Amino acid sequence: MARSSSVRSKKPNALTTLSHHWRRLVLVGGIDALAGIVSLALPGATLVALAIILGLVLLIGGAVAVQNGLHEQLWWPVILGALSIFAAILCFISPGVGAYAILFGTALLFFFAGIGEMLLASQRGANRLWWLVLGALTFIASLVMFAFPGVAYATVALTVGSSFLLRGMGELVLAARIRSLDR
């Protein structure tokens, strides 16, 4: 019995392990906060970066779809994969096209989600008002995105920048609290 308790005391707990690595959290928090500041200061660059990330996702997904289609001897994954690769090339050549695709896809998603939520409200007794309001707001948001794409672009950049900045600040505060435990 005494032996197992002495073995247990030598094993570090999660808090002890974290307290030795607070510097890593400072680094990650600093990078996140800096990315947030840059995203807020340069919203155009944020949209370009998002478009390039979309291009990478489309390229990888397209390549996998083509490979799977060829392996399974199915034509439709090959066609969809080729279209995805084509869209990826467009994102790389003209990131504005990728940014527009993100905006248009989000607006379409909001449009159909809003309609779906309002239909759900008509079929549900419980939470009917909640679904109706949520659906109407989602639908209106889609119309705003279609009518005023500049507002939508700014909103995306603001959301990304704010998210990184707040996450970075939270990580820095957490690192400071963990460091104080190390003392």
Question: 110-153 pLDDT, tens per residue?
Answer: 899 999 999 988 887 778 888 899 999 999 989 998 998 888 88
- Backbone φ, ψ for residue 42 (5° rounding): -125, 75
Report the pLDDT averaged over residues 27-41. 92
- Which pLDDT score is estimated for 137? 92
Read off the DSSP letter of residue 12.
Answer: P
Q: Which residues of 49-70 are buried (b: 16+ CB within 10 A; e: fewer)?
A: bbbbebbeebbebbeebbeebe
Strands (E), the chain: none
pTM value surpassing 0.85? no
- Which pLDDT score is estimated for 183? 64
